Structure 1
Amino acid sequence: MTAVEIIIWSLALGAIGAVALGRLVDLAARPSVSRGHSAAFHLTVFAFVAVLSGLPEVFEPFVDPEMLEAAQVMAGPLCVALSAFWVGGWLNARHRERLMAAALRLAALVTPLAALGCFALPQAQQLAAAGALTLMAASLTLWVIWRASLMGDQLAPAMAFGCLLTLPAIAGMYATAMQLPQVTAAWQGLFALCAALSNGLTGYVLWRRDQADWRARHEDSSSDFDPVTRLHTGITLGQRLVKAQRRRRRMKRDGAVLAVMVFNVDRVRAQAGARGVNEMFIALAGRIKRQVGVVNPVGRYYDRCFVCLVESIDAPVWLRTLGLRVACSLRRPMTVGTGDGQRFEIHPDIGVGIVHLTPQEANLDDVLHDAERMADAARGMPSRTAMLDPETGNVVPVEEAQLAARRAPRPTRPGANDRASRR
């Protein structure tokens, strides 16, 4: 390695190491599983870049070349596999969608096993095969994250961009490890920059999610929070919904308001008492937040009604997936306890109402009223999910609504067609 190349990769490792150190300090200050995963992720990225950058070759007398090449073959697949595992938890993929969970599980389990198969290839082809395998697994993870962004996860687009930056970084670092003559110091500088920026952006998004989770669990009790579910209520809920609505209109994105009504509160209270009812509400609140993401505001509208504003969906057709996913999650049986220590299994009787929000102005009070009306009507539907059919204006099960696959195109400016025809 030249002196310039050593400086380039040392700076990149310094930036990545600084982020890892910050996450370790955060983990020590407020220990949690998610913070532990974040710190481990940054340390894994540090090791990945260190092994593939060529810096270990500077210490060649102390490094076994065969061991180094084996580490380079395994570094990428292991790093991406661990990332896929952690991304699954970050997205709550298991609770969101089976396809997302299966794709991430496939990347996490198959990639390291396939990497072992690279050692069966001729030595000259092992690094190239490992690089291609790593790129495929990283692309699959990127697709899953982008799919979550289409489903309304507000932090997923930034995470997807961070993962997108990893693709040139991975390709470049494997090209550097293969010592291709075309990889000059300038190219290495670009690859190192992509690696450092990707790590920094990913770290920021992980930190944002951790902060949102921590606030949701530890904010002080007040009249602005429901004492049972720890969700926003009253004026604070209204303010959060209004702010989210403004952000959504500013970004000109479609969104949705969901209302969830619980119908069997009295029956659960008769069976398990007030404690059982409270445990049911806590479990339902947690399931809703897992489905819509912690950054989308969820609140307790009143005793038996939860509301949520999903700030961004890619197309109206996603409302069907969103509504059915939420209803399926909430209807799963749960076990609640009574004051005397007994445990009962209950099946929540719920209805989910969905109102599609377009980028145009909408009165929030009217939207909440419509969502509540849809949720009440959903009680008589097999899927327990209802919305207004855009074509007929009738209340229908969400699976029967005629939803557009994409947003309607923006109206053409007057005269545009005439100008186009003249051309």
Structure 2
Amino acid sequence: MSEFELAIWSAASGAISLVVLVCAADLLMTRSVAAAQGTAYNIVALLFVLLLSGVPRALVPELNPSALHTAQVLVGPLCSFLGNYWIRGWLGARQRDRFMDRALLGSGVAAIVLGMATLALPHSQQLPAAAIIVMVNVGLSIWMCVRARMHGDALALGIAIGSMLMLVGVGGLYGIALGVPGIGTGLQAMFASVCVLCLATIGAMLWKRNERARRMHGFEPEHSQFDPVTKLRSGAPFVRQLIKAQERRRRTRRDGAVIAVLVFQPERIVSQAGTGALNEVYLQVAHRLQRQLGAVNPVGRYWERCFIALSESIHSPAALRTMGLRVASAMRKPMHVKSADGTMVQVRVDIGVGVVHMGAREDSEVEDLLHEAEHLAEAARAMASRAAMRDPLTGETVPVEKAQFGHRRRIRAGAAIAPVTPGVRARA
């Protein structure tokens, strides 16, 4: 490696280190798992660039060549495993698409297993085999990001662009490590620039994705469209967000659901622990709902004690049962809040969860879906599971665990639902 080439890759490593520092600052502000993953991902990517570019060997010639070669072989599959696993979380694959979830997780595990298996190959074939594993995984990541964008995740497009740049940068780095002839100083400068641009693009998308967490910690400016307590979108801005999501869902022909969570008797919490404790309860309700639906699905505060979420993609209508029970179970767990005198107290929130299957209400307006979900949440208060939906077969308001998923009849748009007890037919 010439001095000029060493300067190129040292500068690139320094620029990537700045991305790492920005991610670390985000981690210090939000202290979230996603921010920690983003920081670790960029650290591993920096290690990948350093090893394959040959900087360690140029700076420390006495390094063990065998150990350095083994590190070069394994660092790529390791990056693929960690990258696929974390991208799976960033794209909300578990909540959005079963195929995406399994493809990213399966390919990540396969990458690290196959990467270790390459060490059994002849010495000259180990690094080329690792390069193939990494390039295939990057290609898969691009496909999954594009798929997520088609499902309505706007930030997935940025990650896809970053992954496309990564394909070029990774190919160039493996070419340098393998000693491919014809890669001169100009090409190395281009590959170094692409690597920096790739990680900066992905880092920017992760910074944007953690925006709500920074708002909650007071590091983002407040806007009138956000609820001051929960930092969720509220009122008309949230309804507009749902309308856009509904339009995307219709274009992609994905099945979806609207979930409403109603908090009953908030005055009981105020009398027990004070107004500040009630705000903490609302904050925890918002956090638990967002965690159950995933960061990629819109969640907002419709009005004071009503929270709404839209799942833009469900695996099957039967998944509504699991979704409703999971949300209700999360909301019914005790919450620890600070009372007016500063002591921590435990409260249980009286809630109801309403689930509306959008596939059965294809022509309904968003406002109608919101009102139906709200009425179902009111009806759920009388049910043991605290989660209700319309039975696809009978049209009755039933606990979600008793809903029958067969050949459903379409429900008339605008049908009203009054709070009912389980087993009593809803008025249409």
- Fold shared by both chains (TM-score > 0.5): yes
1:21 paired with 2:24, answer: no
1:345 matches 2:346: yes
**Which of these residues, 352, 377, 385, is aligned with residue 379 of structure 2?**
377
Shift in Å at residue 188 of structure 1? 9.7
Q: Is the 8 A contact 1:241 1:297 kept in 2?
A: no
State yes or no: 1:241 paired with 2:233: no
Contact 2:261–2:308 (Cα < 8 Å) also in 1? yes
Instruction: Please say if residues 16 and 42 of structure 1, whose CA atoms lie closer than 8 Å, have aligned partners that are also in contact.
Output: no
Q: Map Cα deviations across residues 34-64 of structure 1 (whole Å, 9 max, x no partner).
A: 5565355334323313422456677795654
Q: Secondary structure at the match of 2:210?
A: helix
The aligned counterpart of 1:282 is: 283
Q: Give, in whole Å, the separation in 2 of the partners of 1:392 and 1:158.
A: 44
Encode CA deviations 1:230-289: one digit per residue, 9 max, x unaligned.
3343xxx21232144135415624443321012353544454444443322221111122
Instruction: Give the partner amino acid of 2:68.
Output: L
Cα distance in 2, alignment partners of residues 134 and 324 from structure 1: 39
Alpha-carbon separation, structure 2, partners of 1:132 and 1:332? 47
SS at match of 2:381: helix
1:259 counterpart residue number: 260
Listed as ranges, the matches of 1:133-152 within 5 Å are: none
- Contact 1:276-1:337 at 8 Å conserved across structures: yes
Query: SS state of the match for residue 395, structure 2?
Result: coil
- Contact in 2 for aligned 1:273/1:338 (Cα 8 Å): yes
Q: SS at the partner of 1:313?
A: coil
Amino acid at match of 2:244: R
Would the aligned equivalents of 2:20 and 2:43 in 1 still touch at CA under 8 Å? no
Write the distance in 1 (CA, Å) between the matches of 2:263 and 2:294: 21
Measured in 1, the distance between the counterparts of 2:320 and 2:121 equals 47
Farther-moved stretch of structure 1 (250-259 vs 63-72): 250-259
How many Å separate the matches in 2 of 1:107 and 1:22? 26
Letter of the 1:66 counterpart: S
**Cα–Cα, structure 1 residues 199 and 225, in superposed 2: closer, same or farther, change >3 Å?**
closer
Query: 2: CA distance between counterparts of 1:40 and 1:24?
Result: 11
CA deviation string 1:9-44 (max 9, x = no partner): 958x96786465356357559943455653553343
Letter in 1 for 2:238: R
Q: Which moved more, 1:294-303 or 1:70-79?
A: 294-303
SS of the residue aligned with 1:306? strand
Of the three residues 380, 401, 405, the one matched with 1:402 is 405
Alignment partners' CA distance in 2, 1:194 and 1:222: 36
Instruction: Compare 345-354 and 167-176 and name the one that shifted more.
Output: 167-176
Q: State how far apart, in whole Å, the 2-side matches of 1:260 and 1:151 are.
A: 24
Query: Percent identical across equivalent pairs?
Result: 38
Distance 1:31 1:199 in 2: 20
How many residues of Structure 1 are paired with residues of Structure 2 in the alignment?
396
Inter-partner Cα distance in structure 1 for 2:188 and 2:198: 15
Give the C-alpha shift of residue 113 in structure 1. Answer: 9.0
Q: TM-score, normalised by structure 2?
A: 0.66
Q: Does the CA contact (< 8 Å) of 2:23 and 2:38 recur in 1?
A: no
Distance 1:65 1:289 in 2: 49
Equivalent residue, structure 1, for 2:309: 308
Q: Counterparts of 2:124 and 2:194 in 1: how far apart (Å)? A: 26
Instruction: Determine the structure 2 residue equivalent to 1:46.
Output: 46
**Contact 2:242–2:366 (8 Å) recurs in 1:** no
How far 1:206 sits from its partner (Å)?
0.9
Q: Which amino acid letter does the alignment assign opposite residue 396 of structure 2?
A: N
For 2:352 and 2:303, how far apart are their aligned partners in 1? 15
Q: Is the 1:80–1:138 contact (alpha carbons within 8 Å) kept by the matching residues of 2? A: yes
- Runs of at least 5 residues in structure 2 that lack an aligned partner in the other structure: 408-428
SS in 1 for 2:330: helix
Q: Which amino acid aligns with 2:287?
A: G
Computed over aligned residues only, the root mean square deviation of the Cα atoms, in angstroms, reads: 5.3
Answering whether residue 231 of structure 2 is matched by residue 230 of structure 1, we say: yes
Secondary structure at 2:48's aligned position in 1? helix
Q: Note if contact 1:216-1:230 (Cα within 8 Å) is conserved in structure 2.
A: yes
Amino acid at match of 2:65: P
Q: Map 1:93-104; keep pairs closer than 5 Å.
A: none
Kindly indicate whether residue 200 of structure 2 is the aligned counterpart of residue 205 of structure 1: no
Distance 2:53 2:62 in 1: 17
> 1:249·1:360 contact (CA, 8 Å) conserved in 2?
no
TM-score, with structure 1 as normaliser: 0.67
Which residue in the other structure is 1:67 paired with?
67
Q: Is the 8 A contact 2:246 2:366 kept in 1?
A: no
- Which blocks of at least 5 consecutive residues in structure 1 are unaligned? 405-423
Q: Give the secondary-structure state (helix, strand or coil) at the position aligned to 1:229.
A: coil
What is the CA-CA distance between 1:227 and the residue it aligns to? 4.3
1:331 counterpart = 2:329: no
Give 2:208's aligned amino acid. Answer: R
Which letter does structure 1 place at the counterpart of 2:283? I
SS at match of 1:339: coil
Give yes or no for contact 1:17–1:43 (8 Å, CA) kept in 2.
Answer: no
SS at match of 2:289: helix
Q: Tell me, in whole angstroms, the C-alpha distance in 1 between the residues paired with 2:405 and 2:164.
A: 34
